[in-house]
Each structure stands twice: as structure tokens, then as C-alpha cells.
Amino acid sequence: MADSILFSYHDSTLFASDPLTLHDGKWLNDAILSFYFEYLANEVLRGDSTILFLKPALVQCLRLQQDLPSLRSALPPDMHTKHIIFIPINDGDDVFVQGGSGSHWSLLVCSRTTRGAGKTAAVTFHYFDSAANSNYHVALATKVKLEMLLAENNTQIITHSCPQQENGYDCGVFVILFADILARRYADLRLPSRQPSPENVTRSAAVQYNTAPMPVAAGYTMLAAPSNDVIRRVMSPFAVPATDAPMAKYREFRPAMLQTAVIKRTFWWIDYGDLCNPNKARRTLRQLIDELCAKKRSPLI
């Protein structure tokens, strides 16, 4: 029986069999990863042109194929200008197997930071692996290929300590959780550079905020913004508290920006306290897919 299309979401397509990989004890496939990367790009980063999520199939091609001109033409032409690039790593050795032929997912993130006017950007690769860095050799090979394609040199790769999975099948869930945390941190840092829009500002929250002002955390610098501007951002679906209160899905804060030194120390740090239970994450992803699928099927959409 042919696998039917469940729905399409921007540049990703889910088939009926794909959500089955979200059941406990199953390995997530590349379609689920591609879907959630699209969700982050469009719902959290809202089309921010400084960030890029590479599809798992493209990353496999990039690592395993040797035809550099063809690979270069397959990459986004402005890839060298991106500040952050999310790169899902799979240890499979076959480009043409749908869903991936490997047994482990991990996450590589390319970060480009400016050094000042007239100076070249510093490129650093950050690596997150929930299984004791078992995919490090694959990530390193991917980094080397990207250097060749982007004509970059003198880059470095930093292996970060991060939460570890307790079984042999939750690696894809951890990649999604890691990417979710980092993408939302980046979104928070980008917010102050934009004027707060009317839909982002809530006056009632501002009154409550000003009544009992929260202390500015060490390392934060408050920007010159109206004192009654409070930015409201949708929380990660993995962090939403178990309550039906309308505001439970939002968190609110004044425009603030981390100092550069603090960003270097804390931005890439992911602790167990940042993550939800992998089984809860699977249920949350299934619920998100169900909600989007219902919207796609609605005659009002």
C-alpha cells in the first residue's frame, strides 16, 4: 500500500508513516527532523535571513558525494553570509536511502561572528552529541567538506558537553531539543535589534512588570527602550506548563541583549534542566503535527 501524504508545511512534506517514528522506542526519521527545522525557521525565527537549517538529505549528500561543483550548486547561494547554520549529522553511508541508513543522529552548528569593520568573520563549528560523541568523526568529515565548499579556512570545532540519552533510539529527539533551545536563544538575541511591534507589546503585562520590577541579571545590558514595552514570545512547545491558562504559552520580558563575553560563555551551554523528558517531547511533536494537519484540512485555511 502506497504511503499517502499527510500534509506539506513550507518546504517539508510528511507522509502518513512519518509520525509513527515518534512513538516510544522508535528512531526519528529525517522527515520529522526536516519538519521541525521548518517549524523553527518559520514560527520562531519568522524567516530571519541570518539563520539556515540544512535538510538531513542535503547534509548526507554533502558529506558523501565527491562532485564539488554539483554540491556547490545544490547549496543556498548566500550560505556563506549566514550567522548560524544548523546541520543534522547522521552516521549512515548511503545517500539514496529514504529516512537515512544510519543508526545515530547528532547536531553540528556553524557560527559566523564578525570581528569588526574590515576584518574577516570567525567561523566556529559547535558539536552536540547525546551518545558520548559517537558521531564526532562524521561531524568532522562534514565540517571539512563544508570548509571546501565555502572556501573557509582556520575554522575550529568545539565539542560541547550536553545531556545524554539513556537508550539507543532517542538521538533524533535530542537533536530536535538541542536545535529548539539554540534557535530560541538566537531569536531572543535578535529581538532587541528590531522595533517592538504592536502584536509583541502588552501594556497590561508592562504594568505588572513595572509594579514588581525584576532585577537585571548579571551580564545583561538594558537597551534604551520605553519602560512600558514588554515583549511577549511564544514558549517552546516542549516547555509549556501543564495549564489551560491563556497566557501559559507565552513568556514576557523587556528588550535586553547579552554582552558578547556572556554570550560566548552561556549561549552554547545546554544542561539537563533545559530539556524536557524525551517521551514528553515525542508526545508534544505528535500533538503539534496533529494540530497543523487539522489546520491544513480545514476549509478556512
Cα–Cα dist 166/252, whole Å: 34
HSE-up of 275 (CA within 13 Å, CB side)? 22
Residue 284: what residue type? Answer: T
Whether the predicted pLDDT of 35 surpasses 60: yes
Cα–Cα dist 136/128, whole Å: 9
Cα–Cα dist 287/13, whole Å: 17
Please compute the mean of the pLDDT values over residues 36-51 and round it to a whole number. Answer: 90
Cα–Cα dist 187/267, whole Å: 12
* Largest pairwise CA distance in the chain: 62
Per-residue pLDDT at 77:
85
* Grid cell at residue 262: 556572556
Cα–Cα dist 228/205, whole Å: 9
* CB neighbour list of residue 114: distance below 8 Å, 6 or more residues apart: 121, 122
Whether the predicted pLDDT of 213 surpasses 70: no
Cα–Cα dist 36/275, whole Å: 16
Condensed to tens digits (0 to 9), the pLDDT of residues 94-152 reads: 765 554 568 999 999 999 876 655 566 789 999 999 999 999 999 999 999 998 888 88
Please compute the mean of the pLDDT values over residues 45-70 and round it to a whole number. Answer: 88
Rg over CA atoms, the chain: 20
Give the residue from 94, 283, 266 showing the smallest Cα distance to 173: 283
User: What percent of the chain has a predicted confidence (pLDDT) above 70?
Assistant: 69
Per-residue pLDDT at 66:
81
Condensed to tens digits (0 to 9), the pLDDT of residues 152-205 reads: 888 899 999 999 999 999 999 999 999 999 998 888 776 543 433 333 333 333
User: What percent of the chain has a predicted confidence (pLDDT) above 90?
Assistant: 43
Give the residue from 1, 4, 23 showing the smallest Cα distance to 170: 23
Per-residue pLDDT at 85:
95
Select, from the ranges 212-221, 239-248, 259-268, the one with the highest average predicted confidence (pLDDT).
259-268
Whether the predicted pLDDT of 224 surpasses 70: no
Mean pLDDT of the chain: 77
Cα–Cα dist 63/142, whole Å: 5
Condensed to tens digits (0 to 9), the pLDDT of residues 284-301 reads: 999 999 999 888 764 433
